[in-house]
Amino acid sequence: MEDHDTGAGAPEVGVSRASPPSGQASPSAGRPRQAGPQSGNGQAGDAQHQRGKARKRRKRRRGRKVFARDEITAAAHLVAAGPPAVNIPPSPVPASPPPPPRPEQPIQRPPMQELPVFAALDLGTNNCRLLVAVPQRHGQFRVIDAFSRIVRLGEGLTANGHLSQAAMDRAVEALKICGDKLRNRKIKKARLIATEACRTADNGVEFLQRVEREAGLKLEIIDRQTEARLAVSGCGSLVERDTQGVVLFDIGGGSSEIALIDLTGQRSPRLANHIVSWTSLPVGVVSLAERFGGRTVTREIFAAMVEDVAVRLRAFDGRDRLSHVLASPKFHLLGTSGTVTTLAGVHLDLERYDRRRVDGLWMDRDSVDRMVEKLVGWDFQQRCANPCIGADRADLVLAGCAILEAIRAVWPSERLRVADRGLREGILSELMADDGVWRNSGRGRA
C-alpha cells in the first residue's frame, strides 16, 4: 500500500481564508512572513494552519494503524489455514542421446533380450547345479545366470539305501532357489535331471514328487548311459581337432561315468557320436568315502580304495577299445569333476579357486603324480586349510584321487586335460543344437 503525502503544496481542504478588497493588495503581499508570535487576523490564520496540519498527521497515523491491523489479520488467516500448496513442476526429462551412426555392415548378432534362453539343472549325489545361457557363435553359449550348492543328497545312502530327511531338506531348499531363478526368466527350453542318488534310493521317486510340490520343479531321473553322453557333450570344445583318442571320465558323488572316444575316423560335429564304449561305476566320492572313511586316510586305506575301483574297472568289457591309440601322443585323458579341478588348483598353488585358470588346463603325468602324493600326505586339517579344497571337500578329495588313480592305471597317458564343466554344459549344448539355433550362420553369433 502506498501512503500519499498531504503536506505543503496541496490544497487545504476545509480551511476558509478572507479575500482582500478589490484593487487592494494583501497586507502581507510582497513581505516575507515574520517568524515568532503574530497578533490579530495573522494569528488566527496561523492557528488554523496549524490545526489543519495536525488533522493531516492524525489521518496518516490512523491510516498506518489500519494498514498494520489488516496485515496482522491477514497473517492470522494464513497461520490458521496452514502452508499454501506448492505446485512443484516435474523434473525435466533429459534429452535422449543422439543415436550412434549406423555401421556400414549390418550387425549379425541379435540383441541379448531377443536371444532364446535355455536352462540346465543337475541334481547329483553331492551337488545341486543350475546354468541359464543364451547361444553365441556356433557350438558355444553365454551363461547369464548360475547356481551351485553342495547339498550331499546321497549322505548315508550307501549304508541305508534311502535318502535321509536332512539330506532331502537341504536339497529342496537349494531347488527352491533354482525354481525362483527359472521362473524369473522366459525360458525357451530346459532340462532338469537327477542322477545316481535318486536312481538308487528306494525313496528317490517320492523325493522328486516332494520337489515338484514344494519347489515347483519336475526333475527326470536319467540313466547312466545318458549321463555319460551328456558329460561328453559338455566337453566337446576341449578336444582339439588333431586328437585321435580320449578317455573322458566324470567322477561324481555316487557314480563315475567313463566314455571311450575314438576320433581316428571322420569327425562329427558332436563329440558324443564318437563314443565307442562307456561304463558307469556305481562308486563316487561320497559312497567311497563313507565306506573307507574320508577324514583319516592312511596310505594303506588309500591303496585299498584304489583297488576297490580297479576291481570294478577290470569287469568293464570295453576297456580295450582304444588300445590302437594309447601309445599315440594324440591320445589323452579328459577329466570333468571336482577331483581333477581340485588337483589343478593345488597344482597352480591358487590362493583362491579360479575357474578361468583351471578349465582347459593341461597337466602332465609327473604333475598329477606329485599332486596326488601331496594330498595323500596331508592330514584332514591341512586339506581343510587349502583354499581349493576347503571343509566341504576335505573328506571327499582323497576318495576322488583313488578313483582317478584306478583310471590312470587302466589307460596310462602322458597328458590329462582338466574340465570345469560337465552335465549342465552337455544339456545346454544338446538343447541348443536340437533347437537349431546354430543352423543359421547369422543367428546366435558373437
Burial (CB < 10 A; 0-12, 13-18, 19+), residue 334, is buried
Are residues 253 and 343 both part of a single domain?
yes
φ, ψ for residue 64 (rounded to 5)?
-65, -35
Q: Is residue 9 part of a domain?
A: no
The residues near 178 (Cβ < 8 Å, ≥ 6 apart) are: 121, 128, 130, 147, 215, 217
pLDDT confidence of residue 15? 31
- Domain span including residue 204: 113-223+429-435
Per-residue pLDDT tens digits for 323-356: 999 999 999 999 998 999 999 999 999 999 999 9
54 part of a folded domain: no
Residue 293 sits in the same domain as residue 200: no
pLDDT at 21 over 60: no
Q: Which has the closest alpha carbon to 444: 108, 187, 103?
A: 108
pLDDT tens string 387-426 = 999 999 999 999 999 999 999 999 999 999 999 999 999 9
The CATH number covering residue 242 comes to 3.30.420.150
Same-domain check for residues 293 and 400: yes
Q: Which strand ranges, in their side-by-side order, compose the sheet holding 415-418?
A: 275-281, 256-262, 245-251, 331-335, 415-418, 362-364
Residues 82-87, mean pLDDT to the nearest whole number? 35
| 279 shares its domain with 407 | yes
Task: Judge if 250 and 311 occupy the same domain.
Answer: yes
Residue reference for cell 482582500: 20
Residue scoring higher pLDDT (22 or 314): 314
Least Cα distance to 131 among 359, 413, 420, 442 occurs for 420
In a domain, 339, yes or no: yes
My answer on whether 307 and 218 are in the same domain is no
Quote the strand ranges of 263-402, DSSP E. 275-281, 331-335, 362-364
Closest CA to 152 of 138, 141, 166, 142: 166
Average pLDDT, the chain: 82
CA 293 to chain centre: 37
Residue 137: the pLDDT is 84
Residue 115: phi, psi to the nearest 5?
A: -75, 140
Task: Tell me the per-residue pLDDT of 288-304, one tens digit each, with 9 for 90 and over.
Answer: 999 999 999 999 999 99
* Nearest by Cα to 226 from 268, 260, 259: 259
Tell whether 251 and 187 lie within a shared domain.
no
Q: Output the pLDDT for position 441.
A: 46
pLDDT tens, position by position, 29-58: 333 344 443 444 445 556 666 777 777 677
> Measured between alpha carbons, how far is 11 from 53 in angstroms, rounded to an integer?
12
Cross-strand bridge partners of residue 119: 132, 190
Q: Does residue 102 belong to any structural domain of this protein?
A: no
Residue pair 248/235 in contact (Cβ under 8 Å)? The answer is yes
Contact 254, 157 (CB under 8 A): yes
Q: What are the pLDDT digits (tens) for 197-251?
A: 999 999 999 999 999 999 999 999 999 999 999 999 999 889 999 999 999 999 9
How does pLDDT run across 251-268, given as a tens digit for each residue?
Answer: 999 999 999 999 998 888
104 belongs to a structural domain: no
For residue 118, the model assigns a pLDDT of 97
284 vs 299: CA distance, rounded Å = 19
Prediction pTM value: 0.72
DSSP 121-147: EEE-SSEEEEEEEEE-STT-EEEEEEE
- Whether the per-residue pLDDT at 122 is higher than 90: the answer is yes
- How many independent structural domains does the chain possess? 2
User: 66-75, 295-304, 371-380: which range is least confident on average?
Assistant: 66-75
Tell me, what's the pLDDT at 268? 86
User: How far apart are alpha carbons 204 and 110 in whole angstroms?
Assistant: 42
| Mean pLDDT for the stretch of residues 93-108 | 51
pLDDT of residue 351: 94
In the beta sheet, which residues pair with residue 335? 249, 418
HSE, side-chain direction, 13 A CA sphere, residue 117: 17
CA distance 408 to 100: 57
Claim to verify: residue 289 and residue 175 sit in the same structural domain: no
Does residue 57 belong to any structural domain of this protein? no
pLDDT at residue 119 is higher than 60: yes
Based on the domain organization, do 155 and 304 belong to the same domain?
no
Q: Are residues 191 and 270 in the same domain?
A: no
Is position 444 within any domain? no
Which H helix or E strand runs over 193? Answer: strand 189-194
pLDDT at 92 over 50: no
Pick the closest to residue 281 from 300, 259, 297, 302 (CA basis): 259
* Residues in Cβ contact with 418 at an 8 Å cutoff, skipping those fewer than 6 apart: 335, 340, 341, 343, 344, 358, 359, 360, 361, 362, 363
The Cα 299–Cα 356 span in angstroms is 33
Q: Are residues 254 and 399 in the same domain?
A: yes
- CATH number of the domain where residue 191 is located: 3.30.420.40
If you search the block for the grid coordinates 562329427, which residue do you land on? 268
Beta-carbon contacts of residue 403 (< 8 Å; ≥ 6 apart): 251, 256, 281, 283, 284, 285, 288, 305, 309, 339
- CA torsion, ordered 390, 396, 397, 403, to nearest 10 deg: -170
What phi and psi, each to the nearest 5 degrees, are found at residue 354?
A: -135, 105
Cα separation, 111 vs 262, whole angstroms = 39
- Please count the CA atoms within 13 angstroms of the CA of 11 that sit on its side-chain side: 4
In this structure, is residue 174 part of a structural domain? yes
In three-state secondary structure terms, 259 is strand
**Paired residues of 141 in beta bridges:** 135
Q: How many residues does the chain have?
A: 446
C-alpha cell at 372: 596326488
415 and 305 assigned to the same domain = yes
